[in-house]
């Protein structure tokens, strides 16, 4: 395998606390109830716009029309862009895993449904110098599970689909890898509980970063 590509949220980094803070900032401005970490865990996976839409449905800010929702989303993005890495951290063992993969000669990439501006800032702050390709929403490609962004990343690093492993933490990632035609590993330490993944028919490849490192080492 020449390339290993990763999802960002719930796979490389625990970003939930900072997403929650940004979402609650927007909800509070419109009189909504506050979202918990477990709430946000359920909302995320298909982009922040959809996540906020699900939060609005549950937390009931009053009198929102479409224009006000977009203003609310702008508030979320504004707050998040100013506070992208306050509580966010790599999962334990991730920097060591990336260093090991890079030492073995693998080209590494990140493909995310998070805004590309945020993805670039977060990666450059917490995990710089590991990746040959980093991209999020806003690059002109549809959101995952559409595979186009992943396939574009493979083209840029010079890898074919049969030379790549894709690692994620959700049903969306499992579907993305399937549509791209790449070998896919799904972890259960991230945003989706193991029982929810299995109930969706998703095969779990690793329950922690140590198991993921051992699995990847056996495939390289």
The strands making up 107-115's β-sheet, listed across from edge to edge, are 133-137, 107-115, 3-6, 164-168, 183-186
Q: What DSSP element (H or E) covers 57? A: helix 48-59
Both tokens of residue 143?
């959101």
Helix axes 116-126, 66-82, angle to 10 degrees: 20
8 Å CB contact between 149 and 7? no
8 Å CB contact between 94 and 209? yes
State the catalytic residue, choosing from 7, 9, 14, 39. Answer: 7
Nearest CA to 2 out of 206, 161, 150 is that of 161
d(CA 6, CA 127): 12
- Residue 40: strand, helix, or coil: helix
- Give residues with Cβ within 8 angstroms of 141, minimum separation 6: 135, 148, 149, 152
Check if 103 is active-site: no
| Residues with catalytic function | 7
């Amino acid at each position: 395998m020449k390339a290993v590509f990763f999802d960002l949220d719930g796979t490389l980094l625990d970003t939930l606390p900072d997403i929650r803070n940004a979402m609650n900032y927007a909800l509070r401005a419109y009189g909504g109830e506050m979202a918990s970490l477990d709430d946000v865990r359920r909302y995320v996976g298909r982009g922040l716009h959809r996540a906020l839409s699900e939060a609005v449905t549950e937390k009931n800010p009053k009198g929102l029309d479409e224009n006000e929702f977009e203003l609310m989303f702008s508030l979320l993005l504004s707050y998040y862009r100013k506070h992208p890495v306050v509580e966010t951290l790599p999962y334990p063992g991730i920097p060591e895993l990336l260093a090991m993969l890079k030492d073995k000669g693998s080209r590494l990439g990140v493909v995310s449904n998070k805004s590309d501006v945020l993805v670039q800032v977060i990666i450059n702050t917490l995990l710089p110098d590991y990746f040959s390709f980093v991209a999020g929403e806003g690059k002109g490609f549809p959101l995952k599970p559409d595979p186009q962004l992943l396939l574009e990343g493979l083209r840029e690093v010079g890898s074919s689909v049969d030379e790549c492993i894709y690692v994620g933490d959700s049903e969306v990632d499992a579907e993305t890898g399937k549509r791209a035609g790449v070998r896919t590993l799904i972890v259960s330490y991230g945003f989706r509980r193991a029982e929810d993944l299995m109930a969706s028919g998703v095969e779990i490849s690793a329950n922690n970063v140590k198991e993921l490192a051992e699995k990847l080492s056996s495939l390289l």
